[in-house]
Structures are given as C-alpha cells and as structure tokens.
Amino acid sequence: MRGARSQRIGSTAEREARRDGEHFMDEALYVRFQGTERHPRGHFPGVFILANELAAQGKLTEEQYRFWRSNNDWYDANYPNPTHVDPQVYAPEVHPGAVAWFKASAVDLIRRVDGYLELLAAHAVECRRLEAANPGRIVYEDEYQVVVVPEGEPSAG
C-alpha cells in the first residue's frame, strides 16, 4: 500500500488526542485498525476478527462480552457486511490477502472502534492504526468501506 501511515495504538489519552483533531484524515482516504502479529494466512487481522477470536475462546468478562455482542450487533445493523454481498470477497484463492478499510468519511463507525481497542488492550492484544490514500486494489466498495488486496500480494491463479 503506497503512502500508508501507521501508528501503534496506546493509551486512551493518546486515542483521544488523535481523535480530537481528526488530523489523521487530512490526506488519508482510508483507515484500518489491525493487530501487530501476522495471521497464519499471512495478513494482519483487523480489530473485529481479534475481538471475535477472544469471544470464541471464552476469554471475555461478562461486561466485555456484553460490549462485544451489542457493538457487533450495532455494526451489523448499520453498515453492509462485504461477505453478504460477495461471499468470496475474502477467499484467499480469489483475493489473497484481502482486508477491509473504513473510508475516512465513516467517522461514526471509526469512533466506535475505541471500545474494541480498549477490550483488546485489556487482553494485551496490540493494535495498530493505518491510514492510506491508496491501500491496494479495491475488490469491494460500499458507502463506508472498501476491501482491498494490498499491492505486492500474489495474484490468484
């Protein structure tokens, strides 16, 4: 991805300082929150996958589980799921390395990520915020997000 900027997500105060000015969106058209460790398939999983894995492993407290469930439900109700539109959008044999990025204009959706970052931090799961004008080849797009295959990923075939 050309021109991507990366910031490790730290304390709540650091997140607030970044969010207050919305300065990160001056040039970036897309924003992604992801873990710092590669998934076995080669990509860096996003915050939703990381939180879903903690829930599936039974590692969340009752309060964290309530947060996770209600916020996942909110996201499902308020923006399209790319796999409901194209079930193959993340298929590694079709779109190797495909990952989702928020459009920078989806501010309300991006702001809600903070709770996921806090949940992940409570379990010592490090995350990084990426910003890019061109995160890769777009294979899916809606009003709020894109799914891209990063440049340099092997092509299917």
- Per-residue pLDDT tens over the stretch 105-147: 999 999 999 999 999 999 999 999 999 999 999 999 999 999 9
Q: What's the distance, CA 130 to chain centroid? A: 9
Residue 154 within any structural domain of the chain = no
**Cα dihedral value 140, 84, 51, 156, nearest 10:** -50
What is the per-residue pLDDT for 94? 94
Is 99 a member of any domain? no
pLDDT, average across residues 102-107 = 96
| Residues listed for the chain | 157
The answer to whether residues 45 and 39 touch, using CB atoms and an 8 Å cutoff, is yes
Token couple for 80: 């399209």
Q: Do the Cβ atoms of 28 and 133 come closer than 8 Å?
A: yes
Counted domains in the chain: 1
Q: For residue 142, is it within any domain? A: no
Q: Tell me if 136 sits within 8 A of 150, measured CB to CB.
A: yes
pTM of the model: 0.79
Which residues, listed in sequence order, are joined to residue 31 by a DSSP beta bridge?
102, 131
Q: What is the pLDDT of residues 7-61, one digit of tens each?
A: 555 444 444 444 444 444 457 799 999 999 998 878 899 999 999 999 999 999 9
Q: Would the pLDDT of 87 be above 70?
A: yes
Instruction: Give residue 117's domain range.
Output: 5-84+105-134
- Answer yes or no: is 94 within a domain: no
